[in-house]
A and B are shown apart, each in its own frame.
Chain A
Amino acid sequence: MRNKIIPFLLLILSFSLTSCFDVIEDVTIHENGSGSFKFIGNLSQSASRINTILSLDSLNGQPVPSKAEIGAHIDRFRDRMAQQAGISNVVVNKDFDKYILTISFDFKDMNSLNQALHNVSESYNKKRYTLPKTLYSYDGNSLERKELFHSFLSTLIAKGQKDQLNTNLGGASYTSVFRLDKKVTKVSNTKATLAKDNTIVILRTPIADVLTKKTLLSNTIYF
Chain B
Amino acid sequence: MNIRAGLLGGLLLASAPLMAQNLNKELPKNTPLVISANGKELSENIGLDKLTKLEMFKDADSTLQILFNSEESGIDLKANSHLFVEVVDSALTMGLVVPVTDAKTLEDALEGVFEVSDKVKGKKVFYDKEDEMFLILSKKSLRLVGFMPEKDSYYTARRENKELTYEQWEEQKADRLKVQRDKYIAYSLNKKNLGLKDETFDEVVKEDADLSLWVNVEKGYPQIQAFQANIIQDGYVSRSDRQYLEITTAIQERLLTYYKGSYNATWINFEEDEITLRSKQVSSEKLADLTEGVHTSVDPKLFNYIKGDDLLGVVALALDNKVLFKSTASLYRDLMSAVPEYGEKAVSVFDLLDIVVDEDAIGSLLKGDAILAVNDLREFEMTYTDFEMDENYNFTEVEKTKTEKLPVFTLAVNTSKDIQLVLNALKAFELIKEDKGYYRVENKEVGKLPLYLAFTKDMTLLFTNDEELVKNRLETGYQDLAVSKEQQQAILDNSIYMNFDANAIEETVKENFPLSNKDKEELEQMAVIEHVTLKGKMVSKTVFEYQGNIKLEEQNQSSLLTILEITDKLYRMSNPVMAAEAEDTEQIYIEEESTEEYEMEEAPAVEEEAEPAYED
Mark A residues whose CB is within 8 Å of B. 17-18, 20, 22, 24, 26, 40, 42, 44-45, 47-48, 51, 55, 97-98, 100, 126-128, 130, 132-134, 146-148, 150-151, 153-155, 157, 159-160, 162-168, 170, 177, 179, 195-196, 200, 202, 211-213, 216, 218
Contact = CB atoms under 8 A, between A and B. Distances in A.
Contacts of A166: 516, 589-590
17 contacts: A44-B384, A48-B404, A51-B446, A51-B447, A97-B447, A127-B603, A130-B601, A130-B603, A150-B597, A151-B594, A151-B600, A163-B516, A163-B517, A163-B518, A163-B586, A195-B393, A216-B597
Nearest to B580: A159
B384 A97 contact: no
A132 B519 CA distance: 35
A198 B237 CA distance: 78
Interface string B586-616: 1011111110011111011011000000000
A35 to B, nearest CB: 15
Task: Please classify the interface of chain A as helix (H, G, I), strand (E, B), loop, or mixed, using the class held by over half of its residues.
Answer: mixed
A220 B207 CA distance: 80
A164 B590 contact: no
A106 to B, nearest CB: 17
Contacts of B588: 159, 162-163
A154 B593 contact: yes
Contacts of B607: 126-127
A111 to B, nearest CB: 16
Query: What are the nearest 7 A-B pairs in CB distance?
Result: A147-B597, A164-B516, A48-B447, A47-B447, A44-B385, A146-B598, A44-B384
B445 interface: yes
A78 B606 CA distance: 25
B513 interface: yes
Contact of B589 (A48, A168, A212, A216): A212
Given A18-B514, A168-B514, A155 B603 contact: yes
B422 interface: no
Contact of B395 (A26, A134, A165): A26
Given A159-B588, A164-B518, A218-B598, 20 more contacts: A17-B513, A18-B404, A18-B513, A18-B514, A45-B384, A133-B601, A134-B598, A146-B598, A154-B593, A155-B593, A157-B590, A162-B590, A163-B517, A164-B519, A167-B516, A168-B516, A177-B393, A202-B389, A202-B393, A211-B590
B387 interface: yes
A134 B445 CA distance: 41
A130 B592 CA distance: 16
Interface in B413-451: 444-449
Interface string B360-404: 000000000000000000000010111101001101000000101
B395 A97 contact: no
B515 interface: yes
A90 to B, nearest CB: 19
Contact of A148 (B385, B449, B598): B598
A206 B382 CA distance: 22
A196 B393 contact: yes
Given A47-B384, A164-B518, A132 B598 contact: yes
Highest count of chain A CB atoms <10 Å: which of B588, B592, B600: B600
A80 to B, nearest CB: 20
Nearest to A54: B445
Interface of B: 382, 384-387, 389, 392-393, 395, 402, 404, 444-449, 513-519, 586, 588-594, 597-601, 603-604, 606-607
B382 A48 contact: yes
B395 A44 contact: no
Contacts of B404: 18, 48
Nearest to B607: A127
A44 B386 CA distance: 8
Nearest to A55: B445
A211 B589 contact: yes
B393 A200 contact: yes
Contacts of A55: 445
B597 A146 contact: yes
Given A45-B402, A97-B444, A130-B601, A154 B393 contact: no
A22 B387 contact: yes
Contacts of A132: 598-601
Contacts of A162: 588-590
A16 B589 CA distance: 19
Contacts of A48: 382, 404, 446-449
A167 B514 contact: yes
A147 B593 CA distance: 11
Contacts of A17: 513-514
B387 A40 contact: yes
Nearest to A148: B598
B448 to A, nearest CB: 7
Contacts of A42: 385-387
Nearest to A132: B600
Highest count of chain B CB atoms <10 Å: which of A167, A195, A212: A167
B327 to A, nearest CB: 32
Nearest to B598: A146
B580 to A, nearest CB: 9
A188 to B, nearest CB: 12
A127 B603 CA distance: 6
A150 B594 CA distance: 9
A96 B385 CA distance: 13
B409 to A, nearest CB: 13
Contacts of B445: 51, 55
Nearest to A161: B516
Highest count of chain B CB atoms <10 Å: which of A18, A162, A163, A170: A163
Contacts of B447: 47-48, 51, 97
Contacts of A51: 445-447
A122 B62 CA distance: 50
Nearest to B391: A196
Given A44-B384, A132-B600, A216-B597, A154 B446 contact: no
A46 B465 CA distance: 18
Highest count of chain A CB atoms <10 Å: which of B382, B447, B592: B447
B302 to A, nearest CB: 26
Nearest to A144: B598
Contacts of A22: 386-387
B128 to A, nearest CB: 32
B308 to A, nearest CB: 27
A94 B393 CA distance: 23
A202 to B, nearest CB: 8
A159 B597 CA distance: 22
B523 to A, nearest CB: 13
Nearest to A131: B600
Contacts of A147: 594, 597-598
Contacts of A196: 392-393
A47 B598 contact: no
A202 B586 CA distance: 35
Contacts of B519: 164
B598 A154 contact: no
A159 B448 CA distance: 33
B455 to A, nearest CB: 25
